[in-house]
Amino acid sequence: MPATRTFSLRPLSLGAVQLARAAFAAVAALMITFSTDHSATVGLSVFSGFVLVSALIHLLGAWLVGPAGWRWPYVLLAAVSILAGMAGGVPAWRSTPLFFVVVIAWAALGGLVELLAGIRARRQARAGTAPAVVADGARDAILVGSLGLALAVGLLCVPTTYALTYSIAEAGSFTLTGITLAVGIFGAYAAIVAVFLGIAGLSPRALPATTAGHNHAASTAAAENEGSA
């Protein structure tokens, strides 16, 4: 018979961490989307608040979710986010060059940490040596880490001194600058992460065929024992 897969609810602690990350990413995306000012000051204000709250969530994740030997991704992500949030949280420092430097560094380092952790978790999950909660979050970590690296690459492609002046009939002239594009790219990243982690946090997880078979055998044995009693 072909191997079958069953589904169970995602562990509450992992789902809660993912939903918390999704919620604050959505807040950051909405703040940027509905702001008419995409300057470095506004961009760094939203970014610093987002990453500092994310750092707190990562620390909670290390305590609530990460089993022994698997807490390092949460701790590293929290450390990178705290440093980036502190750098972007000083009003006197907020400038266009700082936005690019801080956000690119945060996206590259954080994305790399999460991507490597996800790849390692998936490899060990296939070998059957990873804890269930780690194996369950492997795919999510790989995708979110990849999105972080994509954000860093996208911002690297935007010239900090870029400026395009254009006009719209009956509306006037406008200037599209590099920082406007950069803040918009960060907002798009936050929106994508919010949608993906929101879906991931509410989705069931597939159990491997071996686990499903073991659970089925255990339940059958229990039923037979009750019947014979």
Question: What's the CA gap between 162 and 221, in Å, rounded?
Answer: 69
Map residue 129 onto helix, strand or coil: coil
Question: What's the CA gap between 130 and 144, in Å, rounded?
Answer: 20
pTM of the full structure: 0.82
Question: What's the CA gap between 114 and 76, in Å, rounded?
Answer: 9
Token duo for residue 181: 């594009």
Q: Which amino acid is at 44?
A: L
Map residue 206 onto helix, strand or coil: strand
Question: What's the CA gap between 163 and 175, in Å, rounded?
Answer: 6
Question: What's the CA gap between 21 and 15, in Å, rounded?
Answer: 10
What DSSP designation does 92 have?
G
Cβ(110)–Cβ(146) under 8 Å?
no
Cβ(106)–Cβ(80) under 8 Å?
yes
Q: Sorting pLDDT into bands at 50, 70 and 90, what band is 202? A: confident
User: Which pLDDT score, from 0 to 100, does residue 49 have?
Assistant: 96
User: Which pLDDT score, from 0 to 100, does residue 7 have?
Assistant: 41
User: Which pLDDT score, from 0 to 100, does residue 161 have?
Assistant: 86
pLDDT over threshold 70, residue 77: yes
What DSSP designation does 66 have?
P
What DSSP designation does 208 have?
P
pLDDT over threshold 50, residue 212: no
- Residue 197 β-bridge partners: none
